[in-house]
Structure 1
């Protein structure tokens, strides 16, 4: 049987491993930070009707510029940051935020160029860097996984990267990232600054997004996703806001008609139902804060989180704890940090069962 190593694969991909979050048929899935609340029936009906209309025209290519979708995304982002409205020509979208990030690296990274990240951070950043031939370089975080303006400035001045990527809040730690750190990063680099805000909707009320920093910063891009707060992970829709000139750069590398007519129609329909789709955000924040409050009583040390998940330390044997929960139909995530595991904030019932089962584990 032919092996991967027998093929003429690129040398820089030899020995690499693909993204591999476990997929198991369990009753309670709290491992990949999905919104575990079901999509409301009224939204299901609205999205289904929109998709059906789109299917009637699938003999034709979709709108290559996804014009209507960009208008709805701009309106949604402007409602979140009314002082700094986003216009449709500042918006890009693709099949999940991973493809958005891939477009960014295809346009601004590549062979001979470097991207700076601050691990532990989203694992796909380094994987996409490898896939585009971009060198992945790293710098250390401060205590408690934070990044100060001084730390980010020093790291950029040392590394002189072509792209800097920051998660706000961070994945897998949930750590907040202050706007002052983002401002310092932009001022320190002559390259592109990409702020990954996949979990922005779960930040505290009133906290300003990096979107508020876009005016006057043409090398800043802020990516988002509909996978988390919108409970739309299966639809695969990510997007980005930036200066129109940066958006033009992404047109140079996208595949023609990369967003299907059905994806566009479904996403527009979901955005039309945004208040209903986002109605679970407060409930998820409540369960996240509950995890932060109750895990210490079980002997664990959770880290502050502004996302829809909690990273907790004090785990004597992460592999044993992971399998103990898995055997009881609960799937969480081992993110490879010594003494730590990560759990998604699910429904009230899911959170209760997770805490109850974890509390029964012999230690």
Structure 2
């Protein structure tokens, strides 16, 4: 789309009677480019293992026979399978699911947020949180982190006590920094929200990639009916295209979400796909192990290049001390490697891909920084606009 056409489209949008708080906003979304190596949106680049793929095909084939009927609106079999996968003494009544963890979070905000209510989170963190708040008419409160992007129990609890929000969203492992929170932070936030009856949501989208010994907030669910732990099958299960997110919480939380969900919101094909994948979680976890290996290899490689990667409990690495992030981003793109500029000065983020993708990324990056042979082979004439980016 040309610049003039884009301006005309914006003018026509502005002429519509949309909500005032949506005027001037742009849709969320990372660049979707035709590039050989895509390491920008934390997808599982290993794909679905063959045994899981065959099981999914068979399950979808079976579901087609009943596609003229509405799906099970309680997705009972899926909730049972998710509870079995999570363990921790959870049962189907503790589980809820929707089309991606973004919809799970949206439904939480629809039930517990809204006009006159507030959501507290701690940037830099997942950029969808303020957008979800805006979409549900919930006031977004941006909390504070330390200069190294860490969040202590005392600081988080003090901010909850200060703002008395209706909801707190804790991302662990955090996106974009990749670091997990200690359970002491979750416990402190939950206790600090007692007076205001604050709902505490721990977004564990990347939990399967955590370092050994990193605990999950699932351990804290017993006796805490205001605590919610959200997960996704997009990352560890390589099902980003299937759109299946879920949560674990007290049964009454799922009852609250039933009040705001759309009828039959999970298709029969989505349910069949997810159940089949869960039945083959062992082979999918083998890919997770390799991704963690490549992630740690990236961390070591970045350190060797004089950069400062953060300790990562996710399937990506956030790294600083980048001399010119925009130029490095462009240079990598010109060489066929797309990573993420998260807008934090001196920093970039890269997804851990396959061994070959990791090797290519590290090799090109070394060249761009003047420490490897790839420097002379990179075409620096490409720019963001050349690639169709805003």
TM-score class, shorter-chain normalisation, is over 0.9
CA contact (8 A) 2:182 2:215 kept: no
Of residues 331, 339, 345, the one that matches 1:332 is 339
Partner of 1:21: 30
Of residues 230, 234, 239, the one that matches 1:227 is 234
- 1:246 to 2:253 alignment: yes
Q: Secondary structure at the match of 2:241?
A: helix
Tell me how far 1:289 sits from its aligned partner.
0.9
- 1:4 to 2:13 alignment: yes
Q: Counterparts of 1:228 and 1:209 in 2: how far apart (Å)?
A: 16
CA contact (8 A) 1:145 1:175 kept: no
Tell me how far 1:362 sits from its aligned partner.
4.5
Partner of 1:274: 281
Tell me how far 1:105 sits from its aligned partner.
0.2
Partner of 1:81: none
Q: Counterparts of 2:280 and 2:52 in 1: how far apart (Å)?
A: 7
Normalised to the residue count of structure 2, the TM-score between the two structures is 0.90
Q: Counterparts of 2:109 and 2:15 in 1: how far apart (Å)?
A: 28
Partner of 1:124: 128
C-alpha deviations, 1:231-281, integer Å up to 9, x for none?
Answer: 111110000000001110000000000000000000000001110122111
Q: Counterparts of 1:280 and 1:191 in 2: how far apart (Å)?
A: 37
Partner of 2:118: 114
Partner of 1:182: 186
Q: Secondary structure at the match of 1:156?
A: helix
Q: Mind listing any 5+ residue stretches in structure 2 that lack a counterpart?
A: 1-7, 371-390
CA contact (8 A) 1:197 1:222 kept: yes
Tell me how far 1:68 sits from its aligned partner.
0.2
Q: Counterparts of 1:150 and 1:14 in 2: how far apart (Å)?
A: 37
Normalised to the residue count of structure 1, the TM-score between the two structures is 0.97
Q: Counterparts of 1:232 and 1:25 in 2: how far apart (Å)?
A: 20
Q: Secondary structure at the match of 2:349?
A: strand
CA contact (8 A) 1:324 1:361 kept: yes
Q: Secondary structure at the match of 2:277?
A: helix
Tell me how far 1:40 sits from its aligned partner.
1.5
CA contact (8 A) 1:40 1:276 kept: yes
CA contact (8 A) 2:73 2:264 kept: yes
Partner of 1:237: 244
Partner of 1:90: 94
CA contact (8 A) 1:72 1:271 kept: yes
Q: Counterparts of 1:296 and 1:41 in 2: how far apart (Å)?
A: 35
Tell me how far 1:204 sits from its aligned partner.
2.0
Bigger CA radius of gyration: 2
CA contact (8 A) 1:146 1:176 kept: no
Partner of 2:4: none
Tell me how far 1:207 sits from its aligned partner.
2.6
CA contact (8 A) 2:309 2:317 kept: yes
- 1:209 to 2:216 alignment: yes
Q: Counterparts of 1:244 and 1:303 in 2: how far apart (Å)?
A: 37
Q: Counterparts of 2:224 and 2:13 in 1: how far apart (Å)?
A: 44
Tell me how far 1:38 sits from its aligned partner.
2.3
Q: Counterparts of 1:362 and 1:339 in 2: how far apart (Å)?
A: 14
CA contact (8 A) 2:180 2:214 kept: no
Number of residues of Structure 1 aligned to a counterpart in Structure 2: 358
Q: Secondary structure at the match of 2:148?
A: helix
Map 1:129-168 onto structure 2 (within 5 A). Answer: 129-168=133-172
C-alpha deviations, 1:102-154, integer Å up to 9, x for none?
Answer: 00000000011000000000011111111011111011112421111101011
C-alpha deviations, 1:200-251, integer Å up to 9, x for none?
Answer: 0011233321001000000000000000111111110000000001110000
Q: Counterparts of 2:311 and 2:19 in 1: how far apart (Å)?
A: 40
Q: Secondary structure at the match of 2:47?
A: coil
- Cα RMSD of the aligned pairs, angstroms, is 1.0
Q: Counterparts of 2:213 and 2:145 in 1: how far apart (Å)?
A: 26
Of residues 38, 47, 66, the one that matches 1:57 is 66
Of residues 173, 176, 182, the one that matches 1:172 is 176
Q: Mind listing any 5+ residue stretches in structure 1 that lack a counterpart?
A: 79-83
Partner of 2:309: 302
Q: Secondary structure at the match of 1:353?
A: helix
